[in-house]
Structure formats: C-alpha cells, structure tokens
Copies of this chain bind each other. A is one copy, B any other.
C-alpha cells in the first residue's frame, strides 16, 4: 500500500497486475470475459493500490452519473422541523443501500431565481430524480415531462399523465377513514383543519372527509386551512373554537396540526376525547406520545419512499416506462383521542 500524492489510476492497476487496461477495466466491472488469473491479479492490485474508479471519467463515457437527486421544492422554514422530510431522506438513502448510487439533495431556496432546480435536472448531472413535497406551482411536472429524465413523485402530482410516475397513499380514503371514525363515535359537530390546498395531499384528505360528511348528512362548514405544521394547527384551532364553539369532533390533516390543536383545546378546557374527539394523519413517532395518544390515519411513508426509489432505480436501469402509479392503502390507528 503506497501513499500516493495522487489517486491511483486504472493504468497503474493494470500495470501492477500485469494486464492491459482493458482487462483491468473488465475485471473491475463485473469480471465478464476475464480469466480467473487475470481477475485475481487485478483484484490484488486494486486492493494493494487502494484504487477507486474515477467517477467523472467513467461517467463521461458511460453517460451515467450514478447519482440521483432528491428534490424538495419546499422553500419555507418548515423543513427545519418536518419529520416527514427527514424520513424521506432516510428512506431514499436506505433504498439506495447495496447500489453505489449517490444521493444529491436539491432544496429549493427561498430567494433563488426560479428554474434553478429544473435547469440542474435537465443538464444530465443525475440519472433520475425523486420529487417530494411537491406544490402546485413549482412547475416541476411540466419540466420533468419535457426532459426525458426518469423521475418519480412521492405524492400524486396535480396533473397525472401516464408518463408521470408517482407513489402515494390514498389520501381521499384517509380522509374518509377519519370522518367515518368520528361519525361512528357519535360525533355530529365535526370540524377539520386541512393541509395546504396547493398540495394534493391537502386537497385529497379534505375531499374524502367531505364525501363522508355529505353521505352522513352532516354539515361541513367548520373548515380551517393549516400548513401541516404544529403552530398552524394551533392557530386554526383557535379560529375554529371562536366560530364553532360547539365542535365535538376534529380531523387534523397531520399529526403535527392535531398536536397543536389539542394543546389549544386543553387551554380552552376542552377534554380530549370526552368533549372533543380528535383524529390526526400520518402516525409519526409523536402521535403515540401526545396526550392523550392520538388516533390517526397511518401514512406508510417509509414504504412509499422505498417504493418510489425502487421504481426510479428500475426506470433508470431498464428505461421501461410501463409502470403504474402505486397508491397505498391508509389505515386507521386507534389510540385514545376519539
């Protein structure tokens, strides 16, 4: 093991192994059509020299970059505390285990000129992209459709086309589950704190909710907009209580908002679940630790992200576009808040 001032190249490996550069290359890449002796010699040389292929050189000829992008077009500060996002990164990273693909992080920045991310994506620096936390107006759908870049959305895009792959939980059904549970519990003055209406998850959860309330003949006039975050949930709860003091059931479209809402309820002396039943959405770690523990709709985020990554890897490797979006079933997790 020498201590080179400059990284060893394939040429050196070949030389010390006593073979040609081509043979060395083949031995390193899967070892097809290479004799056992040559293979062994190359392996030894690689180990001895501490050789790692130069990614740039390889990428230049293979036209693959061996890296994929995780795009998070979420400009605001919420990212700081969003466990969903941390989970997404973790999930992608985990799904990349085994491959030697790298994960490049592309955050939108609050002040940036629009199109930076799109430009980067178009310029062939990554083999594919996963888009999380997608908003209506971040122009990613059209842009990705225009490129041929393999991409998978986590969360249904606004204008699904056969070419736009995505993985999502059935948010409409999730909204229904929440509504049904509250109706079953005998609650009749129902309110909801919605997610952002420029995200399909926010829209869909509300759709399912409204559907069930309509069918049950229950008014759905008590609706306040939230942003999935805790403070937003608390603020929305204040407004709800001010306008609809007789509320006896609440669906918050995220656990974080549910937690914020429950704090406000407690401050106003409303007991959960005796006075008001609460259902959340996500089933993140915190849901089990709120007081009372939160009944919530489970969002199989880890599975979603893993599926999305697997789809993307397939897409990158095989180029086949004949996937269908994968929509996972949500599930009600009963705890103590209903």
Contacts and interface: CB of A to CB of B under 8 A. Distances in A.
A54 B124 contact: yes
A67 B104 contact: yes
B97 A125 contact: no
A67 B59 CA distance: 15
A55 interface: yes
Interface in A91-132: 93-94, 97, 102-107, 109, 111-112, 119-120, 122-125
A272 to B, nearest CB: 14
A105 B93 contact: yes
Contacts of A231: 289
Nearest to A111: B97
A123 B58 CA distance: 13
Contacts of A97: 109, 111-112
A218 interface: no
Given A57-B60, A112-B97, A119-B52, A81 B284 contact: yes
Contacts of A20: none
B107 A104 contact: no
Contact of A86 (B82, B104, B111): B82
A247 interface: no
Interface string A51-69: 0111111011000010100
29 contacts: A7-B124, A52-B119, A52-B123, A53-B123, A54-B60, A54-B124, A55-B56, A56-B60, A67-B104, A79-B86, A79-B89, A80-B86, A80-B87, A80-B90, A80-B285, A81-B87, A82-B86, A83-B83, A89-B107, A90-B107, A93-B105, A93-B107, A93-B109, A97-B111, A102-B104, A104-B104, A230-B286, A230-B289, A260-B289
Closest 10 CB pairs of A and B: A52-B123, A56-B59, A93-B107, A56-B60, A56-B56, A103-B105, A81-B83, A97-B109, A80-B87, A86-B86
Interface of A: 7, 50, 52-57, 59-60, 65, 67, 70, 77, 79-83, 85-87, 89-90, 93-94, 97, 102-107, 109, 111-112, 119-120, 122-125, 230-231, 234, 260, 263, 284-286, 289, 291
